[in-house]
Structures are given as structure tokens and as C-alpha cells.
Amino acid sequence: MTFKKIFLTAGIIAVGAISASASTIIVDNAPGTPNGTSGAFSYIGKGSSKDYMGGSRYDIYSMEVSRVNGLMTVRINTKFVDYNTKNGLNFGDLFMSTEGVDGRPVWDPTGDPADGYKDDNSFTTGTQWDYVYDLNEARNLTGNDIDNTSAQLHELNDYDLTKSGDRNNFKYGSSRGNKTQLYRVKDEDDAYANSFGTGSVETSTSNNYLQFVFDVSGTQLATAEQIAFRWTMSCANDIIEGVVDFAATVPEPAALGLLLLGLAGVGFARRRARTT
């Protein structure tokens, strides 16, 4: 292989390595399904022993998360985008956590991962959600559409859901867990500590995804090494929760070195071509 090809190959490998490390996928599968973890459940939560209820139209397959230059992109892969707003159902808000309570993990659901944390709900969980991407008017999007003005990022006040005053600041899913599964913010004046910029909400019924893109600059979401995520629809027939380790997704120095090597090789090859 010539030096030119070696340089180009190194560059391609590096770009692939960096692209692959730029996003993380939280998988939400029932036992024994592809991409499952040792046949164990993904997050289920209290209220059902099933991954999803009411048929496959409520199934959440996965969540793809990336954070690049202060811009957070969260794509939720689910067929529910075809069913949103039917029978009064709609999209929930995206909840995020950057700090564990009393030194505990950022994502700290109650129960056993082997059974999908089926004892966990919003009143028993050890996870304290401290940010929310509030969809507002965008929660009723249908078809293949995008809303660039309605959704907004907020920091939440500290709350205790065992107290009715705090509990009443939120809304809960109508089906799973007898209305104990957090789904959206209700009372914005009491729930929010700080508010930030707006972002986009996009639906694709042709590709079965719901996507959020918003700027997290100036918040803990921009620098946190670990962030927990939670999303569900208004019925909470399926819930996706999990944690993303951004420290593990930073491009390795070796990959950056390969990229620089590849770029240097391209420049060298061009100079050679001009002089021959």
C-alpha cells in the first residue's frame, strides 16, 4: 500500500471512530429481543410487568443521544409518532438529571435491573430530575413536521414528590402505575428555577422517530460527564430511562492522531501532485 493510501485510510478510520463515539444509544427491549442486555428487561417501572402496554404502537425502541459543541440532540425511536394526538394522547416532556442525590448515582431507579426496575415509579425513584425540555405546543405534532419555537429548556426547582404541593407541579401517565409515572410539567411557575432558550421538536412518521435539538450552553448539561434521561407519552404505556456516559464518548487521542495523520497525508499527496 502506498503512503498516500495509508494516510487516507487512517483519516477515514479516525473519522469513523469519532463519529461512532459522538452518540450513545439507550435500548429499550423486552427479554430475549435483539440488542438486549443478557436477556434482561430494559426500564419498565412500576405499574406493569411488560416492556410496553396496549400494543406495539406504544413501543419505544431506543433513544439516541449526542452532545456536540453545546448542542444536545435526542432522538426517540417509537411508532407512537403515528398515534400521537389520537384519543387525546400526546408527547411527554424530556426529563434529565446531572447530579445524584446525597452522593448516589445520577440515575438511581429503585429495584433490580434484571426485572426492569419494576418497583420504580416517580415517587419511589432515587433519581432527581433537575432539567426538563418542555415541549409546550409541540407535544401535539403529527405527520412529518418540525416546530422550532415552542419547546424550551428549563432547570427544575428541587422537589419532593411525597409532598402534595410539589407533586401537583407535574402530570403523570394515565395508564401505568396508577398515575405515578412522571410525564410532563404542569405548573411552570412553581416548577422552574431557570429558563433557557428554545429548540426544535421534529416528528417523522415515515421513519418512526421523535427528535429534540436544543442548546445546553451555560447549563450543567453542557459539561456533565453523566446525564440520565427519561421520556414517556401521556399514557405512559412505555417508558424509556437510562444514563449516558459522555466521558466515555469523547474521541480518543489515538483517533484524533489518526485523523491529523490522514489530513496531513491528503495535503502531502496534493503537494506531490502539483510538483510532478
pLDDT of 109 over the 90 cut: yes
Between 25 and 2, residue with greater pLDDT: 25
> Measured over all CA atoms, what is the biggest interatomic distance in the chain, rounded to whole angstroms?
79
Give residue 227's pLDDT band: very low, low, confident or very high (50, 70, 90). Answer: very high
The yes-or-no verdict on residue 87 having pLDDT over 90 is no
Residue showing cell 431557570: 194
Q: Which pLDDT belongs to residue 158?
A: 94
Q: Is the pLDDT of residue 98 over 60?
A: yes
Contact 61, 77 (CB under 8 A): yes
Residue 146 pLDDT class (50, 70, 90 cuts): very high
Banded model confidence at residue 243, pLDDT cuts 50, 70, 90: very high
Give the confidence band of 262 by pLDDT, cuts at 50, 70, 90. Answer: very low
Q: What CA dihedral angle connects 178, 39, 27 and 247, to 10 degrees? A: 110
How many whole angstroms separate alpha carbon 276 and alpha carbon 272? 6
What pLDDT, on the 0 to 100 scale, is given for residue 171? 96
Check whether 23 has a pLDDT greater than 70. yes
pLDDT tens-place string over residues 155-171: 999 999 989 999 999 99
Is the pLDDT at 142 greater than 60? The verdict is yes
Average pLDDT, whole number, for the chain? Answer: 83
More confident of the two residues 15 and 72: 72
Task: Please give the C-alpha separations between residue 233 and each of 123, 150, 237, 256, 262, in angstroms, as whole numbers.
Answer: 18, 18, 7, 40, 45
pLDDT of residue 49: 85
3-class secondary structure for the chain?
Answer: CCHHHHHHHHHHHHHHHHHHHCEEEEECCCCCCCCCECCECCCCCCCCCCCCCCCHHHCEEEEEEEEECCEEEEEEEEHHHHCCCHHHCCECCEEEECCCHHHCCCCCCCCCHHHCCCCCCCCCCCCCCCEEEECHHHHHCCCCEEECCCCEEEEECCCCCCCHHHHCCEEECCCCCCCCCEEEECCHHHHEEEEEEECEEEEECCCCEEEEEEECCCCHHHCCCEEEEEEEECCCCCEEEEEEEHHHHCCCHHHHHHHHHHHHHHHHHHHHHHHC
Given a contact cutoff of 8 angstroms between Cβ atoms, the answer to whether 130 and 98 are in contact is yes
> Above 80 in pLDDT, residue 32?
no
CB 125 within 8 A of CB 108: yes
CB 141, CB 168: distance < 8 Å: no
Q: Is the confidence at residue 38, as pLDDT, over 90?
A: no
CB 148 within 8 A of CB 200: yes
Residue 29 — very low, low, confident or very high, per pLDDT cuts 50/70/90? confident
Residue pLDDT, tens place only, 57-80: 999 999 999 999 999 999 999 999
- Please give the single-letter amino acid code of residue 179: K
Contact 141, 147 (CB under 8 A): yes
What are 176-193's pLDDT values in tens digits? 888 999 999 998 889 999
| Burial zone of 180 (CB within 10 Å; 0-12 exposed, 13-18 middle, 19+ buried) | buried
What pLDDT does 11 receive? 43
